[in-house]
A and B are shown apart, each in its own frame.
Chain A
Amino acid sequence: MAEHFKPVKYRAWEMSLEERFKEVYPPLTQREAEAEANRCLYCYDAPCMVACPTHIDIPTFIKKIGTGNVKGSARTILESNLMGATCARVCPVDVLCEGSCVLREEKPIAIGRLQRYATDYANEREIRFFEKGKPNGKKVAVIGAGPAGLSCAGELAKTGFDVTVFEKRTWAGGLSTYGIVVFREPVEVSLREVKMIQDLGVQVKCGVEIGKDIDFDEIMSEFDAVFVSIGLGRVPQMEIPGEDAEGVLDGLDFIEETKVDRLDKIDVGQRVCIIGAGNTAIDCATIARRLGSERVTMIYRRSEAEMPAYYFEYQFALKEGVSFMFLTQPIEVIKNARGQVEGLKCVRMDLGQPDASGRRSPVRVPDSEFVVPCDRVIKAIGQNKPKDFMDILAPLGVQQAKGYIAVDPATNRTGNQKIYAGGDCVRSFGEASTVMAVQDGKIAAKAIARELVSIEGENK
């Protein structure tokens, strides 16, 4: 590593590779947790609860940490959100619960970290709060074992459904297992949640892709209802010359490597260009830095003001020594004779008239091409919409909205009576997040129960 690229005070590089990929925030000690819990005002009709998409009773769970009833605290959390341990780590709390805390001007309560304290307490001791409900004889298939699917499956099992989850990957958990950077959520946390859902009697069948290994029709005939929670696809093509070069990576594949492979086996390169400026792009950039890349540059065609990443993610990237090139559009990947990436040709941009989204659209500055020398290009410009699956669903009466599966927000039901959907694959507007996927699963589970076991007063 060229010494002159090594920033003087980049703490991460003073740690071992393993340490760099430990959770960024250490767990709270009992003393810290109790002190923070006692700072909570225990608001009446608290705004944090309203801001949480799953409406966790936050003041109550925090109060319980304060009284030393940590087990009860975890129950309060999981009652509203079975993926409480994941959400504690990945939720954009600044714009949700903590952002609405009445103490936000001063210093909001560290709700996320307290939630992690309580859920970890229960997980580490394998405390189980819920049981499989009395069997009601109905079978539901869940397609995709991400947060949406697992949440739906768990809630249904609690009310007595016989639930089978089909997952095409080796492990369940969806992006919590494969996509959330490991220093935010270790894989074990996600897998422990999967185990908790399985302990409710849910069958999780991994390595089974619906539409390929099993036909969707077969599922439709065998089950009383289907919940589709397949998430989104890989990163789309940029459609620029040279994109096939060796060293051009899909951002999701790159993140996945750091979650499931040995860190010292990963060759990230010394000069990395990241294309995009969303949260996934930031994740790729910070991982590259922690793997040891000297220079990581994020390339974004609009300006800082338009970047879609959360502000705190942007700040984190800056702290990690990531550099940003705004108003810059990649137009070609330059290859060497062996077909490997050698540089990224870009063009300068300017902001023009506002487009449909209200953001000023970037226009090229004539004759401003230049090349950023690099040995890796990581694409993080979004995820493919569920087109293939839409093709399967469309003939069954399922509608689409901007390429996503269309659902009724009150029930998460699609145009087909038997088919429900939730999570990223229905998120046609707004920022996709784990907690919203979890809530979708809950809403669908409630609606399915109402529909299939319409016993008076039950499951309302």
Chain B
Amino acid sequence: MVDLSIDFAGIKSPNPFWLASAPPTNSGYQIQKAFDQGWGGAVWKTVGAPVLNVCNRYGTMDYKGSKIIGLNNVELISDRPIEINLREMRETKRLFPNNAVIASVMVESKKEAWQEIIKQIQDTGVDGFELNFGCPHGMSERGMGSAMGQVPEYTCMVTDWVMDVAEIPVIVKLTPNVTDIVHPARAAVKGRASAVSLINTINSIMGVDVDTFEIQPNVGGKGGHGGYAGPAVKPIALHLLSAIGADKEFAQAGIPISGMGGIETWRDAVQFMLLGSTSVQVCTAVMHWGFRIVEDMIEGMSNWMQDKGFERCSDFIGKSLPRISNFGDFDLGFQSVARIDHDKCIQCNLCYIACNDAAHQCIDLTSMQLSEKTLQNGRPWPVVREADCVGCDLCSRVCPVDDCIEMVEIDTGRPHISWNQLVAQKPEVLEWDKMEEYRKQANIVIH
């Protein structure tokens, strides 16, 4: 049996699966139901300043019959009176002492306001705080949420105020709506945060109704930017996660990260953890399918760990992080070419047209007599001219058949050197004529 439990900056959780602060964690009823079904922790829907919500809060990105590959919202923080939230936090913690209950907080940028609410919530017995510096709409216009998270100095300052009164771990939730996530992450460290979490939602406009010209989501004829989440944002979240994970200054602080953004399956969760998340949070997937998805997440991750020989989460958290590298350090001598398995090929010829129109024209349509199949329909086969293949990989990306086009590593005798090493050794290659010379010598042919 594998052990899924984690210790997140002192917050204990039976597994790494937490509900993100959002509609699924709006009330005690919901969180208790989720814990019953297996969720390890929950970050309470952000409490703080009084708000009023609007109608039509969601817009979705639906793709070719798949609903909600992306979700946009203009929802605000909790609109329930604070006393009710506090009462239910206390009750939930009493009923589920072993699950992680984390209170998300956001108030105006005043020291007293922050310290007072922290003390008030602390009294309920929750396990930790998450400071919402990420909400990109509604709250930011009032100087809260991402308005704070986008200015590292504010992030540091508010964190510092909170740390003065907090007796339990404090997580700073970062906004992705910045040019370089590393700076607010370092600011959180500087403010003595116990951990960080990311990502909150991304600024977005979902679309325009081409019949009515309305913006989606449509709020009584008007619309505006909202926060984007769901499967579509996962690559962005993974990048931001790895960016802070790979930052030396952040790493030195040794504080854990709670990752989120597009997690729907155990596979997604594993990827976040391989890139340095200790816990993972989920919102959109639960909004789409309900709490029940956690059963497969737990089982799937356990099975995977067993297959891989991992006993506990710490065995693999951050395992892929060392591979995150800069372009300048990639091996220029690593060469691959596309090989098409004609036993699997169904002759859709999508690789041909992609290569011909959008890559390097190195797939030919050729009449070949490979099997009886060929004789029957007489259609030509896509065949790679390996000598001309630049190994860009587009063909295998468009191929609809699993494992039909494989990128195989070949040795062309090119020197194994990185760009950084090359320009250090031969700065002259920055001129075109010298570059040409180098290419000749290194057996690099470009057509």
B400 touches A100 (CB 8 A): no
Could you pull out 6 A-B pairs where Cβ atoms are within 8 angstroms? A43-B348, A43-B350, A45-B349, A50-B379, A66-B64, A102-B346
Cβ of B383 to closest chain A Cβ, rounded Å:
14
Interface residue? B326 (CB, 8 A)? no
Minimum CB distance partner of B382 in chain A:
A44
B346 touches A103 (CB 8 A): yes
Interface residue? B377 (CB, 8 A)? yes
Minimum CB distance partner of B66 in chain A:
A38
Interface string of A90-106 (1 = CB under 8 A from B): 00000000001011010
- Chain B residues with Cβ below 8 Å from A102 are 346-348
- Chain A residues with Cβ below 8 Å from B349 are 43-45
B348 touches A44 (CB 8 A): yes
Minimum CB distance partner of B64 in chain A:
A38
A44 touches B353 (CB 8 A): yes
Cβ of A14 to closest chain B Cβ, rounded Å:
33
Interface residue? A35 (CB, 8 A)? yes
Q: Could you say which of B64, B65, B350 contacts A44, with CB atoms under 8 Å apart?
A: B350
**Contacts A31-B65, A34-B65, A41-B348 known; 18 new A-B pairs at CB < 8 A:** A34-B64, A41-B350, A41-B400, A42-B350, A43-B347, A43-B348, A44-B348, A44-B349, A44-B352, A44-B353, A45-B349, A45-B365, A45-B379, A46-B348, A47-B347, A102-B347, A103-B346, A105-B346
A38 touches B400 (CB 8 A): no
Interface string of B394-437 (1 = CB under 8 A from A): 00000010000000000000000000000000000000000000
Q: Which residues of A contact B (CB under 8 A)?
A: 31, 34-35, 38, 41-47, 50, 66, 100, 102-103, 105
Q: Which residues of B contact A (CB under 8 A)?
A: 64-65, 346-350, 352-353, 365, 377, 379, 400
Main secondary structure of the interface of B (DSSP, over half): loop
Nearest 4 A/B pairs, CB to CB? A38-B64, A44-B353, A102-B346, A44-B349
Cβ of B385 to closest chain A Cβ, rounded Å:
17
Cβ of A219 to closest chain B Cβ, rounded Å:
42
In the assembly, what is the distance between CA of A47 and CA of B365, in Å?
A: 14
In the assembly, what is the distance between CA of A34 and CA of B64, in Å?
A: 7
Cβ of A102 to closest chain B Cβ, rounded Å:
4
B65 touches A38 (CB 8 A): yes
In the assembly, what is the distance between CA of A102 and CA of B350, in Å?
A: 12
- Chain A residues with Cβ below 8 Å from B379 are 45, 47, 50
- Chain B residues with Cβ below 8 Å from A100 are 377
- Chain A residues with Cβ below 8 Å from B352 are 44
Minimum CB distance partner of B345 in chain A:
A102
In the assembly, what is the distance between CA of A199 and CA of B349, in Å?
A: 40
- Chain A residues with Cβ below 8 Å from B400 are 41
In the assembly, what is the distance between CA of A47 and CA of B379, in Å?
A: 8
Minimum CB distance partner of B357 in chain A:
A44
In the assembly, what is the distance between CA of A97 and CA of B67, in Å?
A: 30
In the assembly, what is the distance between CA of A31 and CA of B350, in Å?
A: 26
Cβ of A55 to closest chain B Cβ, rounded Å:
15
Q: Name, among A35, A45, A105, the residue most crowded by chain B CB atoms within 10 Å (CB to CB).
A: A45
Minimum CB distance partner of A43 in chain B:
B348
In the assembly, what is the distance between CA of A38 and CA of B64, in Å?
A: 6
- Chain B residues with Cβ below 8 Å from A105 are 346
Q: Could you say which of B65, B348, B377 contacts A35, with CB atoms under 8 Å apart?
A: B65
Cβ of B258 to closest chain A Cβ, rounded Å:
36
